[in-house]
Amino acid sequence: LDGKPDDQRRVLEMAEADAEGVLAYGVQSSLATLELEAGKGDAAVDRLRELADRKDVLGEQASLDLGRVLETLDRNEEARKVYDAFETQWPESTRLDEVREHKKALAGLWSSCLPRSASPVRSRTSRVALSRRLRPTRGSSTVRPPFTSGSSYRARPKPLSISAST
């Protein structure tokens, strides 16, 4: 079935009728992925919103997936609201740091790294283009905006270590 999305969809839809619990979640999540890959972003978002309504660990995962999909679709304000709701609904989650990182990226903390002449970015088109250039690639710990050439730029500064000397 690899590389055959129509066949994958057909198998998933057959499993959908009888699936319960984690299997039902897996089927719905996989269908959302297929919809997103087929360019049906709204359908994927609707499916993930339904899954995110759960009040368990699967709903927690679906909320994260929903936020990421909304970011992918450049629906950043909606993604921010999903992340805000995540923090409220799951305040003890082990994934809060991940959610907060996504929120920081959406909040445009990059503007503090921009030269005064480049900040603030005025138009939505410019903001979107800039955010795409600033997104880290998989496995990358540093991100360089297009206007910097130095190798000392880091996405996050290292914390200062203070040692007590007595």
Q: How far apart are CA 118 and CA 145, in angstroms?
A: 11
On average, the pLDDT of the chain sits at: 75
Q: Which residue has the higher pLDDT, 81 or 114?
A: 81
Q: What mean pLDDT comes out for the span 24-36?
A: 93
Residue 119 has pLDDT above 60, yes or no: no
pLDDT in the model for residue 14: 87
Q: What single-letter DSSP state applies at residue 146? A: T
C-alpha gyration radius of the chain: 20
Residue 58 has pLDDT above 60, yes or no: yes
Most confident of 101-110, 130-139, 143-152: 101-110
- Using left for φ > 0, alpha for ψ between -120 and 50, and beta otherwise, residue 110 falls in alpha
- Using left for φ > 0, alpha for ψ between -120 and 50, and beta otherwise, residue 106 falls in alpha
CB 68 within 8 A of CB 36: no
Q: Which residue has the higher pLDDT, 129 or 94?
A: 94
Banded pLDDT at 115 (limits 50, 70, 90):
very low
Q: What mean pLDDT comes out for the span 122-131?
A: 42
Give percent of the chain above pLDDT 90. 48
Q: What is the reported pTM?
A: 0.62
Residue 16 main-chain phi, psi, to 5 deg: -60, -40
